[in-house]
Copies of this chain bind each other. A is one copy, B any other.
């Protein structure tokens, strides 16, 4: 049976930089659209990849050097007009990573673009980005997702600011902190207290067994 469908994965990789939600874009090496900024992506290799998640991991590793950030399937985009090469199907993923893990490299030339100002992208990549940003914002209202944009250890204030940056709204400090016992995806790291110029703050980490914790109600 001959289907002639191009099957690929694309990844929207989010990070938080300068108080803004940004995504990773890179210049395409090959046609179509060689030289243009686009999402990291690539063909699914039936001989190499266990499943499409493995394809996404491979693409992330090859194009950004990342090993295991938070990675979740987003949506599958398909049709005859999205790629000039013909009918295509792309399983889109989105990933979250702390800025510090995006190390510039001579080999890997990627760029960070604010979600609020993503340029025109080839294929239907703008649609994919919009879809991913919406998913991230929606899910951030009731899950622990934003933790993955922070470093291993972080303070409650930093976590609250992360939620605020993603959601674009100010949250109440005492409400946010009162919710924490309920949201038991955090664990305080007793020995680690961040010293700064001012009052030191308790450091927390995301519990490894709670990488995606869902809570009812809103943050």
Q: For residue A87, which residues in chain B have a CB less than 8 angstroms away from its CB?
A: 46-47
Of the listed residues A44, A46, A50, A77, the one surrounded by the most CB atoms of chain B closer than 10 A to its CB is: A46
A46, B216: Cβ atoms closer than 8 Å: no
Knowing A76-B73, A78-B51, A218-B217 are in contact, say whether A7-B46 is a contact too (CB < 8 A).
Answer: no
A213 is an interface residue with CB less than 8 A from chain B: no
Nearest CB to that of A90 among chain B residues? B76
A86 is an interface residue with CB less than 8 A from chain B: yes
Of the listed residues A52, A78, A91, A216, the one surrounded by the most CB atoms of chain B closer than 10 A to its CB is: A78
Complex CA gap A141/B142 in Å reads: 13
A119 is an interface residue with CB less than 8 A from chain B: no
Q: For residue A77, which residues in chain B have a CB less than 8 angstroms away from its CB?
A: 51
Q: For residue A52, which residues in chain B have a CB less than 8 angstroms away from its CB?
A: 76, 78-79, 89
User: A interface, by DSSP: helix, strand, loop or mixed?
Assistant: loop
A44, B5: Cβ atoms closer than 8 Å: yes
A3 is an interface residue with CB less than 8 A from chain B: yes
Number of A residues whose C-beta is below 8 Å from B? 29
> In A38-52, which residues have CB < 8 Å from any B CB?
43-47, 50-52
B3, A46: Cβ atoms closer than 8 Å: yes
Q: For residue A7, which residues in chain B have a CB less than 8 angstroms away from its CB?
A: 3, 5, 7, 89
Interface CB pairs A-B, < 8 A, 16: A3-B7, A3-B44, A3-B45, A3-B46, A5-B5, A7-B7, A46-B86, A46-B87, A47-B87, A50-B80, A52-B78, A52-B89, A73-B75, A78-B91, A216-B217, A217-B217
**Additional 16 contacts, C-beta under 8 A, given A89-B91, A217-B218:** A3-B43, A3-B44, A4-B46, A5-B7, A5-B46, A7-B89, A46-B80, A46-B86, A51-B77, A51-B78, A51-B80, A52-B78, A52-B79, A52-B89, A73-B75, A78-B91
